[in-house]
């Protein structure tokens, strides 16, 4: 990111909305916004293999591994407004497991980009499938979108749910329902 250029653009935005970028309260705003966006879009600079850091292990375990209630924060690519929520992820190993802390880190890589919830959910599932080759993987995301809450339709209690199912989670209703029951979403 070219921070000087970014900050200049923020100063122009402040002028366009009718503000004075030289006002005391706004003097450091361009710098703070540049730093915030650098953090909020850090996923573009992350490499999945570096995130996994060789934490994939051979293990004879064939039951469901579930990590639920992973908090995430992202930015809607349509309005550049935040959306946030929780992700629930399960996989059934096929000889490989991953260090549990790596699963939330995978979510973070994709959440820290301009996104749509559906793509982010699919990217997480595809990544787990690619690196672990499990019998199945399931990902459900639940989110509140500021573009729906504070502008547009302004529906304060609305949330969105997206899911991605691979392998046994897609093919076998019993396995899929076990996952959905465990995350408290047996009505999907």
Active site residue 142: no
- Using N-to-C axis directions, what is the helix angle for 29-40 and 3-16, rounded to 10°? 120
CATH number at 53-182: 3.30.1130.10
CATH number at 3-40: 1.10.286.10
Active site residue 88: no
Comma-separated ranges of CATH 1.10.286.10 domains in the chain: 3-40
Active site residue 12: no
Q: What is the pLDDT of residues 86-130, one digit of tens each?
A: 999 999 999 999 999 999 999 999 999 999 999 999 999 999 999
Tell me whether residue 52 is exposed, middle or buried, using C-beta atoms within 10 angstroms of its C-beta: 0 to 12, 13 to 18, 19 or more.
middle
Enter the pTM of the model. Answer: 0.93
Q: What is the pLDDT of residues 174-184, one digit of tens each?
A: 999 999 999 99
Active site residue 147: yes
Strands of 65-76's sheet in order across? 114-115, 65-76, 82-92, 136-145, 160-167
Active site residue 145: yes
Mean pLDDT of 42-58: 96
Exactly one of 35, 79, 129, 133 is catalytic; which is it?
A: 79
Exactly one of 38, 50, 78, 118 is catalytic; which is it?
A: 78
Q: What are the DSSP E strand ranges found in 77-159?
A: 82-92, 96-98, 114-115, 136-145
């Amino acid at each position: 990111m070219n921070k000087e250029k970014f900050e200049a653009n923020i100063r122009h935005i402040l002028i366009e909305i009718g503000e004075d970028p030289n006002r005391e309260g706004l003097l450091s705003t361009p710098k703070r916004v540049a730093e915030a966006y650098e953090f909020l879009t850090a996923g573009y600079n992350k490499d999945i293999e570096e995130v996994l850091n060789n934490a994939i292990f051979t293990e004879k375990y064939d039951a469901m591994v579930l990590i639920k209630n992973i908090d995430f924060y992202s930015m809607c690519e349509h309005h550049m407004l935040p959306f946030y929520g929780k992700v629930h992820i399960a996989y059934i190993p096929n000889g490989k497991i991953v260090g549990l802390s790596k699963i939330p880190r995978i979510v973070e890589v994709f959440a820290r980009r301009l996104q749509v919830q559906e793509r982010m959910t699919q990217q997480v599932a595809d990544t787990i499938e690619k690196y672990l080759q499990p019998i199945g993987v399931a990902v459900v995301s639940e989110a509140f979108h500021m573009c729906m809450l504070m502008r547009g339709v302004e529906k304060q209690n609305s949330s969105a749910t997206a899911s991605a199912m691979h392998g046994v989670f897609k093919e076998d209703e019993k396995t899929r329902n076990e996952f959905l029951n465990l995350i408290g979403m047996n009505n999907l």
